[in-house]
Structure 1
Amino acid sequence: MRKIAWIFCLLSSLHVSAQRKNYSIQMADAAVSTWIDSTSILSGKTDPSKMGILLFAMEAVWNATGNGQYFNYINKSVDQLVQSDGSIKKLQPGDASMAAQMLMVYEVTKKDRYRKAAELVVRQSLPGKGDAGLPTQTALRLAQSIIFNVAYSQLFQSDSSFSALSASVISLTGRTLVYEELPLPGFAFLSSIDKIPGDPLRKQELVHLFQAYAKKTRALQDTSSGKWPSGGKTDAAGEYATTALIAYTFAKGVRMGYLEEDYLASASKAYAFILKQFRGAKGAKDRGAADKSGGTETIRESFMGDPSRVGSFILAATEMEMLETATAGKGKKVVLDYYYNNEWQKDVTGKDVRWHYTWEDRSNSGYHMLGHVFMSNGAKISRLETSAADLAKQKASLYIIVDPDTEKETAKPHFIEQADITHIKKWVGDGGVLLLLGNDKGNAEFTHLNELAASFGIHFNEDKQNTVIDDMFEQGVVMSPAGSAVFGTQAKKLFIKEFSSLALQSPAEAVLTKGDIKVMALSKYGNGWVVALGDPWIYNEYIDGRKLTTDFQNYPATVEWVKWMLSLSKKTSLR
């Protein structure tokens, strides 16, 4: 009964105007409604390997919306397998189904039981370890094993594993695959390639293999309909799912720079084909799909009864929907400073790792979700681990300096020196956009930061505004005005706590205030711009939807803010 109700809900929702809600969100919400049973995996009703594809899709929707309910759904699903001591129920040794999500939940929450579970999977599934090495897995489980093991090896700096993992990617690409496995090599590649360090030639070999795979796969597309026909090897619903995941692979491959732009035409035609089927007559029958009673079920029911098929559609939808927002940052590169903000700590293995306002950090203190906002708007993200003397070489459009270190935070802090200021001023004057994010009193180095800011008429007052006690979030409210060029036409309720206010001189002007307090400033300098705010503000804790109450609008405000800053820059990575 629940399945029928869910299908009715989904069919209804997909006929609603996309202006109200993206198709990716509609399908994700419907999936949450149907696979809500906390025992569905343990009871055997849901295959964990198929659920893994749906959870990859839920993560994509979470990144695209900042809505914490999608992370909570992933967390709840993982909790069906991971016990309080880190042991794992249901999965056989060597099975890495949903292991990538176990690791992701650990990265976000830092709860050690998820790390222990991930470590257990690694010991059993990494090539050359345990009795169930990667090559013996089904293609679906092998793809998830590769994605998980690459992510684990990167997180815990296990560089010795990457050679074997690269070989596994090659092995998957060279396999003889059944029809519905056709998208899996591309899916595994795109989820792993940017996390594999080491020999550039080895990485380039993988890129060439992916490009050859994409070329071969594109040749199989029916150019008339846009689908990848199965030749009777699966039902129509299987064709929809396979077509969706290939469309996702092509669109993401283009966005990441591994495929030529013309692959978007194939992806767009495939996606249009799928949408047409869902908008079609509700009574359409799939004559090849029989239910247990021997009758036939609708195409949609066959599609929607399988979480991996639903996940494939959601992944395609999230990627295709990015095309609508990718123009703002196309050809632009955002560089985050890792030199003046250079904090390290020991991870659970005792190794030194960067933290605090970095792209890689998925916990509360990181900028991981901010990075996704930039990328969803078409920009590339990068980091600069040396001083601003090297800024001109980066071909950056936007340069972010956040929370410069004090002696309390770093043993040997790198201060912003006069020579650095000279380099930064020239770069801004040539058309770059500089974003300065300070902090409240005692939590950032102000002397040298203010020497830089003074060049643009800005001064961080080294005070503390909007003090918030515990979770009394209303104490941290700052309202953006309606009709704001920075945050969009509608007024937004922002949470910005314990920030340093600003003092401004021409040419700087306030673009966000709270009463008489200047919160954010904009300054024109030569052909470029400087944006300043006295707080790191948009780190994961306050835009990923897990902490703030739903009346706060930090995530949509961040999306508008990012678009605005990208529009200011005249510099692109192409020149």
Structure 2
Amino acid sequence: MKKKKLIYLLNSLAFVFLTLLSACKEKQKEIETSTEETQLVSEDLKWSERMLLSEMHRFPEAWMLDFHDKPKWSYPNGLVLNAARRVYEETGNEKYYDYIYGYPDTMVNDDGSIRTYGLEKQNLDMLKSGDVLLYVYDKTQEERFKKAIDVLRKQIDSQPRTSDGGFWHKKRYPHQMWLDGLFMAEPFYAAYTQTYVDGEEAQKAYDDIVHQFDLIQEHNYDAETGLLYHGWDESKEQIWADEETGTSPNFWSRAMGWYGMALVDVLDYLPEDYEGRTRLITYLNQFAEAIAKVQDEETGLWYQVLDQGDREGNYLEATGSSMFTYTLAKGVNKGYLPKDYMNVAKKGFNGITQELISVEDNGVVNLNQCCAVAGLSADRDGSFDYYINEQKRSNDPKGTGAFILASLELDK
């Protein structure tokens, strides 16, 4: 009898033990599942993919990039989506292509007109997202995209110019060339020419593209530092324009960043035997030398006002630092720059990830200390105080897009 009771007791204990064990396993599975659900971005991925996924989380539709609350045709979308294209080509993940496609799909009407775009504004910024149209049309052959591409290309023909042939940055900014404009317009202009134009017409277009860089070097280049001023006013009438040279007074980080990226990106499309390539590569080497000299020795980053890191209020800025890192790394990878500049790029990238990147508990990556916007106008005088007091924010697409591109070049 006692033996039976003992067996019964042991069986009961075994049952309880197995029940508890099963419950523990279920609880552990719940915890693991919960963790997987909240971990939106895996730290095992490369920085490029981590940042792209983070941008897609912040801006579920690509038209939302740059914190838009309604669809708008704009240049930051083009920058980030060009970077997304590179990530898609590397990974083959179709959700990245779908994200890219969503922007022109939303913005281009059936007749090829572009929502919120106005040719009459003659704004070079509006050409940047033309790069996305070129890519998506090549993939889909949707006629509306080709019509939209041609609309943007026609803007180049009617863009107002300085007396020596330089594009005005915008119609409402008369007689002015900005470094920004070369990144906004020239890669699209060059890619269009490579794809759709040949013979003497193509030669003429390539000459025109390189001429824009020649003029920037002539008017904006500072021989003492090797840096380039943000803007140049041929009329010398603007409040920010030097009365003798017409240049703005300071070297703004992101303006130099736009120029560097324009150089390495336009070179992708110029024919190998085209003589203008040599001049652009020379400009790029001058650029690299000047940028390396003003890199912060301790962090590897670059200041908002490049040559005045020791002035109170100046700060290490994310968008320019990301752009310089991309430009230098790509320049080395393409053989345009000496290999030593890769060390400068790596130091810059390490500085970004260590000083300017923060990662949330769910894995979402943030890029901090981005200058939101800066320009030149009657109330934007290009002074040191102006640049350092413009709004700072995290995850500005002008920084995240460049960071993705830099990551891809460094294969992090």
TM-score, scaled to structure 2: 0.64
Q: Secondary structure at the match of 1:123?
A: helix
* Structure 1 residue 57 displacement after superposition: 1.2
Q: Of residues 228, 233, 249 in structure 1, which corresponds to 2:327? A: 249
Q: Secondary structure at the match of 2:295?
A: coil
Higher CA-based Rg: 2
Pair 1:25-2:49 in alignment: yes
For 2:108, the equivalent position in structure 1 comes to 82
* Structure 1 residue 259 displacement after superposition: 0.4
For 2:215, the equivalent position in structure 1 comes to 171
CA distance 1:253–1:287, shift in 2 (3 Å): closer
Between stretches 259-268 and 51-60, larger displacement belongs to 51-60
Q: Secondary structure at the match of 1:183?
A: helix
Q: Which runs of 5+ in 1 are unaligned?
A: 1-8, 291-300, 323-575
* Structure 1 residue 228 displacement after superposition: 0.9
Separation of aligned partners in 1, 2:104 and 2:53? 18
For 2:8, the equivalent position in structure 1 comes to none
Matched-pair identity in %: 23
Counting only pairs closer than 5 Å after superposition, residues 109-508 of structure 1 correspond to structure 2 as 109-126=140-157, 129-131=158-160, 134-137=167-170, 138-157=178-197, 158-159=201-202, 160-173=204-217, 175=220, 176-177=229-230, 178-197=252-271, 200-230=274-304, 231=309, 239-278=317-356, 302-304=393-395, 306-321=396-411
Separation of aligned partners in 1, 2:401 and 2:313? 18
Which residue identity lines up with residue 33 of structure 1 in the other structure? H
Q: Encode CA deviations 1:459-497: one digit per residue, 9 max, x unaligned.
A: xxxxxxxxxxxxxxxxxxxxxxxxxxxxxxxxxxxxxxx
For 1:554, the equivalent position in structure 2 comes to none
Q: 8 Å contact 1:180–1:242 — kept in the other structure?
A: yes
Separation of aligned partners in 2, 1:189 and 1:195? 11
Separation of aligned partners in 2, 1:254 and 1:12? 35
* Structure 1 residue 12 displacement after superposition: 7.2
Between stretches 111-120 and 76-85, larger displacement belongs to 76-85
Q: 8 Å contact 1:49–1:140 — kept in the other structure?
A: no
Separation of aligned partners in 2, 1:266 and 1:287? 20
CA distance 1:263–1:171, shift in 2 (3 Å): same
Separation of aligned partners in 2, 1:222 and 1:148? 33
Separation of aligned partners in 2, 1:155 and 1:139? 25
Q: Secondary structure at the match of 1:80?
A: helix
* Structure 1 residue 46 displacement after superposition: 6.5
Q: 8 Å contact 2:326–2:345 — kept in the other structure?
A: yes
Q: Secondary structure at the match of 1:314?
A: helix
Separation of aligned partners in 2, 1:196 and 1:320? 24
TM-score, scaled to structure 1: 0.47
* Structure 1 residue 320 displacement after superposition: 1.0
Separation of aligned partners in 1, 2:294 and 2:92? 36
Separation of aligned partners in 2, 1:287 and 1:66? 32
Separation of aligned partners in 1, 2:109 and 2:61? 17
Q: Which runs of 5+ in 2 are unaligned?
A: 1-35, 171-177, 221-228, 231-251, 361-365, 373-391
What's the C-alpha RMSD, in Å, of the aligned pairs?
A: 3.4
Between stretches 97-106 and 190-199, larger displacement belongs to 190-199
Q: Encode CA deviations 1:142-181: one digit per residue, 9 max, x unaligned.
A: 4121010100011012402111111123334553223221
CA distance 1:255–1:13, shift in 2 (3 Å): farther
* Structure 1 residue 200 displacement after superposition: 3.8
CA distance 1:65–1:135, shift in 2 (3 Å): same
CA distance 1:45–1:115, shift in 2 (3 Å): closer
Runs of 4+ residues deviating >6 angstroms:
11-14, 232-235, 286-290
Q: Secondary structure at the match of 2:168?
A: helix
CA distance 1:205–1:216, shift in 2 (3 Å): same
State the aligned residue count. Answer: 296
* Structure 1 residue 235 displacement after superposition: 7.7
Which residue identity lines up with residue 161 of structure 1 in the other structure? A
Q: 8 Å contact 1:218–1:266 — kept in the other structure?
A: yes
Separation of aligned partners in 1, 2:317 and 2:105? 32
Pair 1:101-2:132 in alignment: yes
Separation of aligned partners in 2, 1:38 and 1:279? 22
Q: 8 Å contact 2:76–2:397 — kept in the other structure?
A: yes
